[in-house]
Chain A
Amino acid sequence: MLLQSALIFWQTTSYQIMRTDLLLSREAALITAQTRPVLDQQLRMRASDDLHLLIAGAGLFDAQHRVLNGNLQTWPEGLQPDGPVLPLVVHPTGQGPRAVRAQAVRLRNGDILVLARGLRDLEEVRQIVLRALLLCAVPGILLAVAGGAWLSHRALLRVGIMHRAIDRIMAGDLHERLPAGRERDDLDRLAGSVNRMLERLEHLLDEIKGVGDDIAHDLRTPLARVRTRLERARDAPSGVERPPGRAALLTEAVDRAIADLDQCFAVITALLRIGEIENGRRRAAFTTVAMDELVADIVDLYEPIAEARQVVLVAARCDAVHVHGDRDLLIELLANLIDNAIKFTPEGGRVEIGGVARNGEAVLHVADTGPGIAAAEREAVLGRFYRSDKSRHIAGSGLGLSLVGAIGRLHDARIAISDAGTSPLPGCRIDVTLAALTT
């Protein structure tokens, strides 16, 4: 609004100056057209009558700028005959110095006529415009203040509603959402973003809650068994004489209880380990690892286990390629894959491990002839905590693939699960793709 006012003021002023200049030029043209006596008469009139309020000065000078007639005592410095209209200060007779716009015109006889027009009317116009502008500004400002207050009140009301919604969310009501309307303004869009974040958080929390329930269940089952065993051992009749006898019964009960507790520890240790691998970003132990050695080592380690379960462990082709990684963790990744494969493959089945170098990448694979993993579950099994219902009945922490996922993520590896294409069971094939090092 200030800028607008300044523009109006400037426009008015320059229009007024233009008008003054135009009047001066016309007047000069009119006067110079007169004969000398008429001109002298005109000059005297202009200097004396009321017009001098407007025409502040008029003077006739000779070619050497000496005063011939009129009310200007001296030649106004800087003025050029037949030059442009200039803003000057003149000293008319009987008056103080006045700011004027002046023009000099050369007459036919060589004398010079100077006309000066005061800026008084300009001042007046300026005052009027200024007053008008001020008068306009007051209601304008009042309107703006009132409008602003109304808008901010409305915004504060909405923020207040949001605050209360956030308070309810913080109090534990995770289903609560902020009012976002149709997201037409910034506040609504912000609320919309917060809502989407809340949705994601709620989803993650549900997931963790599900995991928590699963883990609780996994721990509860063996713990309940431990409790039952210990109770039964305590209540065993002391008079058991027939073999194996009370002592042996107790020993057996304790042994089984310890085995169940070990299962609980396995779950807890695996969880802690996954957490540490994911949060610790343990990259300090990264070195150059030869893929073929990795595969040979893991086959050597797992051959007897496969044999004991009547499963054939086959080392397929493995290219000599190097990757950057943590050897212990990569072995753990392969161990878990093979472990899983052997666990789920029926007797007489086959587990294959191999690795190829392809397009600057090292692709390790473990394939089995087991029941496979349903397509819908493939992504989830590598997640942080996921247990397929099928894995519940198999020994171990059941978190092997979660551990594989965590180690894979640490190594920026791509892990793909597919059918192995075997029969009668579809089998499961897991490909782990790592960046190969150029040697």
Chain B
Amino acid sequence: MSAVVDAIVPDMLHAQCPHVLLIEDDAKLALDVAEELGLRGFTVTMAETGPDGLDRASQGGFDVLVVDRLLPGLDGLALIEQLRRQGTRTPVLVLSALSAVDDRVSGLKAGGDDYLTKPFAMVELAARLEALLRRPIEARESMLQVGPLVMDLIERSVTRDGRSIELLPREFRLLEYLLRRPDRVLTRDMLLEDVWHYRFIPQTNLVDVHIGKLRRKVDAPGETPLIHSIRGAGFMLRIGT
């Protein structure tokens, strides 16, 4: 098995402190989130109501917004619509109760934003914010490469140091997703959602099994591991340890 890279804090510290605006009316949840994100290297500003959040967001200066779906004064989605009309392009992550997920919420993903259903793990929130901060992903390339690993999107072939790797279609999709996001923590939920387009919590280590199969093909015995498990968070494709 591959080496285990420690949690994602050190990685985040490489970037400048990203500034998050957290618009959430549940004060207890807001404090928990702020504290946790603070530990992970984010600077957090809080707003409790829709109008207040809209004011602050309009002033700019934030790298990413975390917006509750149901806010007093102004609904979270209406807030985002207003911001977009004003020309603010700051990426948004919407927090929503499962029962409030509808087409408009799930449509956020198509617009480059994201959403998370409550309850969520803090590591999930952090990983998704990081993903939003690192947008956009270049989609037009025909070749993807991370170190010795090369993927030809036209030929649909993968090689590592010239060694050809045979992949099933689903393994190819998974590796393509990893290759487009090197050096990033990818949670199990993110993989399930973006590679398979599912949003549910599997009862088994579903994603681990898929990653395991892919890893056995990509990281042959004796080779330096490229696919790493991040303890308590998920997985990462990176060169070296």
Q: Which residues of A contact B (CB under 8 A)?
A: 255, 258, 265-266, 269-270, 272-273, 276-277, 279-282, 284-285, 297, 300-302, 304-305, 308, 328-329, 331-332, 335-336, 339-340, 342-343, 395-397, 400
Contacts and interface: CB of A to CB of B under 8 A. Distances in A.
B198 A396 contact: no
Interface in B51-109: 97-103, 106
B203 interface: yes
A285 B97 contact: no
Interface of A is mostly: helix
A258 B232 contact: yes
A282 B199 CA distance: 14
14 contacts: A255-B231, A258-B231, A265-B121, A276-B97, A282-B98, A284-B103, A300-B196, A301-B198, A305-B209, A308-B209, A328-B198, A331-B200, A335-B198, A397-B203
Contact of A285 (B103, B200, B210): B103
Contacts of B210: 304
Interface string B136-180: 000000000000000000000000000000000010000000000
Contacts of A331: 198, 200
A264 to B, nearest CB: 13
Nearest to A300: B170
A332 B121 CA distance: 19
A276 B98 contact: yes
A281 B213 contact: no
Contacts of A328: 198-200
B222 interface: no
B203 A339 contact: yes
Interface in B109-124: 119, 121
Interface string B20-54: 00000000000000000000000000000000000
Choose among A279, A304, A343, A395 the residue with the greatest number of B CB atoms under 10 Å from its CB: A304
Nearest to B173: A300
Contacts of B102: 284-285
A304 to B, nearest CB: 5
Choose among A301, A342, A343 the residue with the greatest number of B CB atoms under 10 Å from its CB: A301
Choose among B101, B119, B200, B206 the residue with the greatest number of A CB atoms under 10 Å from its CB: B200
A90 to B, nearest CB: 90
Given A269-B119, A304-B213, A335 B101 contact: no
Choose among B198, B203, B209, B213 the residue with the greatest number of A CB atoms under 10 Å from its CB: B203
A427 B190 CA distance: 34
A22 B100 CA distance: 90
B204 A339 contact: yes
A298 to B, nearest CB: 9
Contact of B99 (A266, A281, A308, A342): A281
Nearest to B202: A335
B15 interface: no
A23 B101 CA distance: 96
Nearest to A328: B199
A272 B98 CA distance: 10
A284 B204 contact: no
Nearest to A394: B203
A255 B199 CA distance: 26
B99 A269 contact: no
A272 B99 CA distance: 11
Contact of A339 (B97, B98, B99, B202): B202
B63 to A, nearest CB: 29
A331 B232 CA distance: 26
Contacts of B220: none
B98 A332 contact: no
A226 B97 CA distance: 30
Contacts of B97: 276, 280
A300 to B, nearest CB: 6
A279 B231 CA distance: 35
A273 B120 CA distance: 12
Give the 7 A-B residue pairs with the shortest CB-CB distance, closest first.
Answer: A280-B99, A284-B102, A332-B200, A396-B203, A276-B98, A282-B99, A339-B203
Contact of A277 (B98, B170, B201, B202): B98
